[in-house]
Every structure is written in structure tokens, then in C-alpha cells.
A and B are shown apart, each in its own frame.
Chain A
Amino acid sequence: MDSQNKEVITFIFLVILPIILFFASFLIGRYPISPVDVVKTILSPIFPQLKISQTISTIVFEIRLPRIIAAFAVGSALAVAGTSFQSIFKNPLVSPDLLGVSNGAGFGAALAIILCSSNFIVQILAFVFGIISVSITYLISRVYKAGGILVLVLSGVAISAFFNALISCIKFVADPQDKLPEIIYWLMGCLASVTIDKLIMIIIPFIIGIVILLVLRWQMNILAMGDEEAQSLGLNPTKIRLLIIAGCTLLTSAAVSISGIIGWIGLIIPHMARMIVGPDNRILIPASLSLGASFLLLVDNISRAVITIEIPIGILTSIIGVPLFLYLLKRGYSEWS
């Protein structure tokens, strides 16, 4: 009975945490808005008779809402992709950029920044090159058939290094007055420049990615037992792994395309979630989704509330995340035996 109570409490925590954070986040920022105004403003499209000021409406809907949704989307995407990768590669040290997606996307963005200044093009090229780099990694691993997962991971490392070199090339030739800082700023990861338009562009890849990973979450458990066992249990490991990689790549590319490279979340959130709910992906994937979304939103709120200058969130996720992670690690972790 005791363990069942614990499960219920965990479940409620994981459902309520993001909801509370969602509403609380509207209160944070340089322009103070009361909780009552926030609720009124959010309800105003449904109940037009509510009287709200134009300023508050603009701040809530055009500044704070896109940023909150972006934090949710990016945090949950990176966390779910990280959890999925750790399962199918049977390795808890894996993060979503294992197969080169981040450096590929970074190259796309850097290329777009030196070619033109359109935010739209930057986002598109980041997304497309994220997918291209993983596709190259995957195709290489198919050429060297015998090695399986090991070859896939190694070609991921290689392609990642290759795109990293290309990024350095672009940095080297970029105009140090305006283009270079822009590239560096992008690579650090930031949610400040997210707009509704950018969010709309990632809706489709985000939903497809999340749905694939949610649907296949039980099969991930079986893949974690190894390819031969998975096959003897009737699964086609190559096919399912490809589907999962595709889902993760859509999610990560979509996330990176609006926020730049935000590290660490895809590695630690899966661990935090596993410490709370255990390794069964049927519960772990939704838990990662909730925790990833909440964590990034929390960090973004801290960055907006505590510090007056805008620090790239990629820096803060590590500065806040590492001590938290080490604290959790100290509390005991049977998996690291």
C-alpha cells in the first residue's frame, strides 16, 4: 500500500508541477503583473466581457506566452529525446546530440547567419542540417553493416566532429563586428528571441516526434535488452531503432532551431526522471517530458527574475543543473553500480 501511495504522489507531482510553473511564469519579468490580471488576460479570448489593459495583454500574449511555450517545448523535447537515446543505446551516458544533430544544426544556423540575417532562414537551415547530419551518420552505419550500434555511435562522433570543424571554419571567416558574436550567441542557446511565428514552425515536427516516442515507449524497454533478445521477442530492432532515431532527431532539430544549443538537459533530466519513477519507459518517457519542460521553464524564470541582463540559458542550465544533479547522485543511485 505504501509504494502505491508513493506512486500516486509522484504522479500528481509530475502533472501539477508544470501546470503551476506555467501560470507562475506569467508573473515573472520586469513589468509586474498581478496573478488576477494574468488569469483574467488568459481567459479573455474565451470570455470577451473581461476588461483587461492593452499593455498587459501584449506582455502576456506576445512576450511571456511564446517564451513559456518555447521553454516547455525545448525542455520536453530534449529530455524525451535523451531518455529514448539512453534506452535504445543501452547507455545512461548518452545525450540527444550523440548522432551529430546539434553540431549539424549549429552549422546550418551559422551558415544562415553569415549568408543573410533572416531569422526565418536561420531556423530553417538549423532544422534541416540537424536532420541531414543524423541522416549521414545513419547511412554511414548502414554501409558498415557488421558493427551495429557501435558503428552508429562512432560515425555519430565522427560526423559531429566534422560539423564542429565546419562551424569553426565559418566562425573564422565571419565578420567579427556583428556576425561572429551572433553565431556565438546562437550556439550558446537562448530563449529570448522566440516568437509565435518560430513556434508555429516547429509544431508539426514536435508533435510527430513526441507521438512516435510515446507510442514506441514500451518497445524501447525491449530494445534495451539487446538486439538478439528483441528479435527473438518478435521485434525488428533495426526498424524500430530507425523510427526512434527519426523521432528524436525531429524533436531535437525542432528544439535547437528555436533555441540554439542548450546542453545538459538531455543528459540529466532522463537520470532525474529515472531516479523518481524507475527505468520503465512506459512511465519514464512521460515523466521526462514533464520534468524537462518544468526544469527549463524554471531555469528560464530564474534567468529573467534574478539577473537583469539576459544570460544565454544554455549557460544557466549547466550552472543550476550540475549542482542539482550532483546532489541527486549523492542520494543514492543503484544504476551506477
Chain B
Amino acid sequence: MSLFEVNNISFSYGEHLIFSDISFSIDKGDVLCILGPNGTGKTTLIKCLNGLNEIDSGEILVNGENIQKLSFRQISKHIGYIPQSHVPSFPFRVIDVVMMGRAPYLNLSSTPKEEDEQIALDALKALSIDYLRDKEYTNLSGGERQLVFLARVIAQQPDILILDEPTSHLDFGNQIKLLEIVKNLSDAGLSIIMSSHFPDHGFLSSTKVAIMKDKKFIDIGKPDEVITEDNLSKAYGINVNLIEHDNGRKVCVPLETNLKLNQDLFKKK
């Protein structure tokens, strides 16, 4: 039995089918990177995996239990989640935001105890951002805020971590740092499912890569086997060159499509 198993799930908004027949499984320490073009439904799929969206058919098993039969609280003890974007609310202190990760373990009538604060503080220390502790989370940079949310999900102590495009608001340098954090977390035993726009990310920290296109996974498997020039051109509709760097790392280079727009349309009238 795998830690997390997805069997033939499908989902639609009303009549509009988003995806069908998606299956995969991951084990302890696995990192699954889901690639795919804009609008294929990666975010919708991710929200199904942690129960935010209810699937139409199929089943999702975490530790052998069907998540449709679990309460939000039970799911939250197994699965942590960081959404793609966050609308800032009130200027809570960073430590208070991280402490929210303890909610699955506290009943409705209680507030965090000293030990919860300690767990939150340890999570900040684990990511070396304990100096942010008393700052307002609304005043942080995009990179710092992403780390704060990571600390919150670490304080949540789940088995599986689901990240929706965790690098999308980060600069060049912070992207690679985040992927290294993902690698460290998986080495520590966490299983991670993340979506990304960048095929390169699949090589950096993943043990498995899936490519989503036309309402299904067109391929899933080891990064080297899935991230191929052929698959990428199928997924993104452009030609791609895979180049091996000196240190053995592969990078994907998208080739120009020679797009020509009608210049007359841009002329001032």
C-alpha cells in the first residue's frame, strides 16, 4: 500500500469536464512534479487531492483511507497545502501565522499552547527565518512570505505536502532555493506533490514527473524518462531542446516559434 494513492479520478465543473482517469501513487519521500500548460487544470487537480474540490468519480486514498470519508480536520493531519496565491488579510505577526498550522491538533474551544508556539518557532528556525518572528506577514517580500507559509505547513506536521506552483511569485534565486528546501523536506521523509510551469524544475528535486495535457496525464514516471523533447513539444506546442549541463544537470530550452503578428494592428490611427 502506498502512502498516497489516486485511482481513476475525474472532476468537472457542471457539464464542463476538467480531467478524467488520472491515477498515480506516491510513497514516503517522493516528490511528484506536475507539469503542464496554462489552464489544463493543474490547480483544480491539486485542490481535489486535498479535498477542497470533491471528485466526481474514482478514489483518493491517504494511508489507505478514502479522503472523501474523512473530515477536514482528519485530512489536515495528513496533508498540508500552500495555495498558489494568497490575498493578504490583517497584518498578523509571522509567529501567529505559523502557529495557525497547529489548528488540526486543537479543538474548537482551545487556543495554541506554549508547546504549539515552540513547534511554530522550531519551524521558523528550520527554515532559518526566526528573525522574522515578530514582523507583520503582510509586509514581507514574496520570497519571505512563501517561506512563512512553508513554516506554517511544517508546523502542521503532515505526511504529504501539496504545493500549487510554489515558485510562481519568486525571483530567479528564490526559485532554486525553494526547490532545494523541497529536496531537504523530502529527504527528511515528507512526500511532496507540486505543480510547476518550468520543466527544468522537474529535474531539480523530483523523483517523479507527470505531464498534464488535454484533461489527463500524457506521461508519468522518472524525470529523465518523462521530460523529453517529444513530450514537452506535445504539452506546450513548441519545440524544445534538452541540453546537458557540465555537471550532468539537464536544462530545457524552448525554441523560438517565429511568431509574426500583423504590424498594421499596432499602428496609431
B100 is contacted by which of A90, A215, A233, A274 (Cβ under 8 Å)?
A: A233
A287 to B123, CA, bound (A): 30
Q: Is B52 a contact partner of A219 (Cβ separation < 8 A)? A: no
* Shortest Cβ distance from A226 into B: residue: B87
* B68 interfacial by beta-carbon distance below 8 Å: no
Q: Is A222 an interface residue (CB 8 A)?
A: yes
From known contacts A221-B100, A232-B81, A233-B101, infer whether A334 and B91 are also in contact, taking CB-CB under 8 Å.
yes
A278 with B108: in contact, given A234-B72, A234-B75, A234-B77 (CB under 8 Å)? no
Q: Is residue A205 contacting chain B, with contact meaning CB distance below 8 A? A: no
A229 to B98, CA, bound (A): 12
A87 lies within 8 A of chain B by Cβ: yes
CB of A280 within 8 A of CB of B93, answer yes
Q: Does B83 contact A (CB under 8 A)?
A: yes
Q: Are B52 and A335 in contact (CB under 8 A)?
A: no
Known contacts A221-B100, A222-B103, A280-B96; is A232 also within 8 Å of B90 by CB?
no
Within the complex, which residue of A215, A334, A335 is in contact with B109, where a contact is CB–CB below 8 Å? A215
Q: Report whether A278 and B93 are in contact in the complex, using a CB–CB cutoff of 8 Å.
A: yes
Contacts of A228 in B (CB 8 A): 47, 52, 81, 83
B27 within 8 A of A: no
Interface residues of B in 24-70 (CB under 8 A from A): 47, 50-52
Per the bound structure, the CA–CA distance linking A216 and B108 in Å amounts to 7
> In chain B, residues 97-128, which have Cβ atoms closer than 8 Å to a Cβ of chain A?
97, 100-101, 103-104, 108-112
A-contact 0/1 string along B160-177, CB 8 Å cutoff: 000000000000000000
Query: Which chain B residues border A222 with CB–CB below 8 Å?
Result: 100, 103
Considering the complex, give the chain A residue whose CB is closest to the CB of B110: A218
Contacts of A280 in B (CB 8 A): 92-93, 96
Min CB–CB distance B133 → chain A (angstroms): 12
Shortest CB-to-CB span from A94 to chain B, Å, is: 12
The tally of residues in B whose CB lies under 8 Å from a CB in A reads 36
CB distance from A103 to the nearest CB of B (A): 28
**A231 within 8 A of partner (CB):** yes
Judge if B86 is at the interface, Cβ distance under 8 Å: yes
Chain B residues whose CB sits within 8 angstroms of the CB of A316 once the complex forms? none
> Which of A217, A221, A226 has the most chain B CB within a 10 Å cutoff?
A221
Q: Are B104's CB and A234's CB within 8 A?
A: yes
Q: Name the contact of B50 in the complex, choosing from A232, A274, A335 (C-beta under 8 A).
A: A232
A29 within 8 A of partner (CB): no
* One of B76, B92, B108 near A219 (C-beta < 8 A): B108
- Let me know if B111 and A232 touch, CB within 8 A: no
Using CB atoms, name the residue of chain A closest to B87: A226
Shortest distance from the beta carbon of A135 to any chain B beta carbon, whole Å = 22
Q: When each residue 222-255 of chain A gets 1 if its CB lies under 8 Å from chain B and 0 otherwise, what string results?
A: 1011101101111110001000000000000000
Cβ contact within 8 Å between B72 and A236: yes
Given contacts A226-B89, A278-B93, contact A231 B52 (CB under 8 A): yes
Q: Does A279 contact B92, Cβ atoms closer than 8 Å?
A: yes
**Contact of A304 with B by CB under 8 A:** no
Question: Does B156 lie at the interface of the complex (its beta carbon under 8 Å from any beta carbon of A)?
Answer: yes
Partner of A279, one of B91, B100, B112: B91
Contacts of A236 in B (CB 8 A): 71-72
Determine if B199 is an interface residue (Cβ-Cβ < 8 Å): no
Q: Which residues of B are found within 8 Å of A92, using beta-carbon distances?
A: 90
Cβ-based interface call for A40 (8 A): no
Q: Contacts of B52 on A, CB cut-off 8 Å?
A: 228, 231-232
Measured between beta carbons, the chain A residues less than 8 angstroms from B72 are 231, 234-236
Partner of B89, one of A216, A225, A232, A235: A225
Residues 189 to 232 of chain A near chain B (Cβ within 8 Å):
215-219, 221-222, 224-226, 228-229, 231-232
Q: Does B136 contact A (CB under 8 A)?
A: yes
Binary B-proximity of A317-337 (CB < 8 A = 1, otherwise 0): 000000000000000001100
- Known contacts A232-B52, A234-B76; A224/B103 CB under 8 A: no
Q: Which residues of chain A are within 8 angstroms of B234 by Cβ–Cβ distance?
A: none
Say how far B141's CB is from chain A's closest CB, in angstroms. Answer: 15
Beyond A232-B50, A232-B76, A233-B76, is A215–B108 a contact (Cβ under 8 Å)? yes
Those 7 A-B pairs whose CB atoms lie nearest each other, nearest first: A234-B76, A279-B90, A234-B104, A232-B81, A234-B73, A218-B111, A224-B89
